[in-house]
Amino acid sequence: MAQSKPPISAGNNQSYDWNGDWVGATKINPENWVSEIFIPWSIANMLPIQGKRIIKFGAYRYCAACGELVGTAKTHPERNKFMFELDALEIDSFPAKSNINYFPYIAAAQDSVSNNEINKVGVEIFYNTGTGKQINATINPDFGQVESDNVVVNFSAEETLYGEKRAFFNENQTLFDITDRERLKVMHTRRIGSKPSYNCSESYNEEICNESKQEYSDLDYALRYTQKEGGTEYGFFTAREQDEDFSLGRSYYAARIRKESNNKALGYMLTYTDDPLLNRTAMVNAVDYDNIVNSKLRIYSILLHADAGDDSSVGFKGGMRFKPNKDDNHSLGFHYYGDDLNINDMGYLQKNDWVSLGGRSSFERYFDENSKFKNIEYSLRYGHHTDTNGNSNPSYINPKIELGFKDTSSMHFWTSLESSGKNTTITRKYIDSPFIKRPYRYNYGGAFESKNYSNFAYGFKMNFERGGKNNAWNSDGYRKTWMEAGYYFFPTDYLTMKIGFNLRDQKEWMKWVDSNYLAAYDSTEKFLTLDLNYFKGNKHELRFKAQFVALDASNPTSLMSNQNGYLSLSEREVSAFNVGEAAVQIRYKYELATLSNLYIVYSQGGNIYEENINSDSRSIVQDSWRNPSGKIFAIKLRLRF
């Protein structure tokens, strides 16, 4: 069984939240190897036509030893018109056939910490009419995590964005993707089935309500319909969460239309969320435009309007990419997100109340055949940000040099300069102190990535950041040292392992307490990750993933900010603290038949928050491991009919 990602659409747009089941097989001969992949027609919506069908085709092979990509078509995935410049291939137009697949499942899980048991039976249905229409539906779906999320310790005002790992939301979902890198998702499917809404203070038993809070919601159903007619695509999506004893399930709706013609695309999307417990509805309208003017120039934009609860606001993102030749690249972007813009009921917005203008230019040059160097790339990022009231965030400029060797190893060097400015998010828009002033900062660093040796590779990064003194209080200036190292080991074709370590050491790390109160700490954060993937033939798959984080925040200084953003010492008491998180998952997958699998999963995770306890990193992690929030053993059988 082979799975491929990411797919590419609309020229060269790549989507990493995608998954498709393809059937594949390989054979190694004495002088060559052969790989065959069967991609069913039903994986994509295609209109029936008479006679011959013209499709675009390209096959590429990456040479790991020399770091080169060789293909049948004279184009590259980085080019704006990559999909349109692939070679044309004439094939027979097979008769349109409808295709329907049923995937019933049974799942059982037990948490030995909370003593909760879950037993579920459901079905997924995938129906392709063969005439450009698809219906995907699931009843009583099992949307439990088969693959665990990365452990993240986040004290900032910005929500951590997690990728989608659930199969139903990663298949045939591309039509509904309107995104701006890591900043924006008009439809963020991780919202669906997320933590339920609660209002325990008004429940009949507040104590039991608080004890019964769940981290996710079960769903009654989810339905997705897509249709293609010529260059126009339509789509509709809906899902409904189950009611609980102390919560009512939310309802989600999305409608989408997109028209493509002559390398131009214009689309509209509507999302609507109803939360009956909070008596809250949210509606978001989005218009997206993409124009591949020619092989050198591409322009694009997204226009947003949201009515969420009592808030209503607009947002806009526009940009351009200019590639005058194959070695140079320039991009420029503008963002405006209103101070009341809220799309997070069904989408994701990194931050609102934000205005930004910035870009990147890069220039790549190649060495001659006699050099041990292959290429060098010079790049420059730059930008200026403010809130919608004109309070300027630090402006920045970020030069970088990337040097590649012919043995595929590489070196990277960078620096960044940030002006003094205002941090407009840390106080969470507190009305009497909406920002704090921040002195200038600069950083510099480097990285090295080795070549792939016979069975291992390694890499490391280092970065040093320094900041000016804050004259409003007794400050020595911000300091941060960041180091990262990784070691990859692949003794056989069927076994790969990775160990990674991160260290972040900061002086005068600023953390929000509440309202206009903050605290500065000396903090040390250590992060250890272990990954193992083992494939035995085509039937067995074993994955092991472990992550451990230890954060020690000491020497606290209590601070407060005034309306002008100046910091001063505060008499409010603040305490040193430790944070520990540990997460381990072991997952075994056995393929019974094509697209029919048995999963056995064990997950354990825990976290702690301790104040005024002097602990080293090892004891912090041990405490989080010995006090788990969950020990879950799960079995799932999913069959295809």
What is the Cα–Cα distance from 596 to 576, expressed in whole angstroms? 51
Do residues 236 and 255 make contact, with C-beta atoms less than 8 angstroms apart? yes
The pLDDT score that the predictor gives to residue 225 is 95
pLDDT in tens, 603-634: 999 999 999 888 888 888 888 888 888 899 99
Q: Which residue is it, tokens 């063969």?
A: 130
pLDDT in tens, 25-35: 778 888 888 88
Pairing state of beta strands 8-9 and 436-438?
unpaired
Task: Give the pTM.
Answer: 0.87
- Is pLDDT above 50 for 1? no
- Is pLDDT above 80 for 403? yes
Phi and psi for 192 in degrees, rounded to 5? -80, 120
Do residues 344 and 184 make contact, with C-beta atoms less than 8 angstroms apart? no
Q: What is the CA radius of gyration of the chain?
A: 26
The pLDDT score that the predictor gives to residue 5 is 43
Residue 6, preceding peptide bond in cis (omega within 30° of 0): yes
Q: Which residue is it, tokens 């990535």?
A: 449
Residue 50: how many CB atoms within 10 A of its CB? 6
The pLDDT score that the predictor gives to residue 117 is 83
- Is pLDDT above 70 for 144? no
The pLDDT score that the predictor gives to residue 241 is 93
Q: Which amino acid is at 214?
A: Q
End-to-end CA distance of the chain: 17
Q: Which residue is it, tokens 């001969």?
A: 29
What is the Cα–Cα distance from 283 to 274, expressed in whole angstroms? 9
What is the Cα–Cα distance from 102 to 129, expressed in whole angstroms? 15
Pairing state of beta strands 577-593 and 540-561?
antiparallel
**pLDDT mean over 232-245:** 93
pLDDT in tens, 409-448: 999 999 999 999 999 999 998 999 999 999 999 999 999 9
Do residues 640 and 594 make contact, with C-beta atoms less than 8 angstroms apart? yes
Strand partners, 484: 461, 502
Domain ranges of the chain: 2-92, 143-352
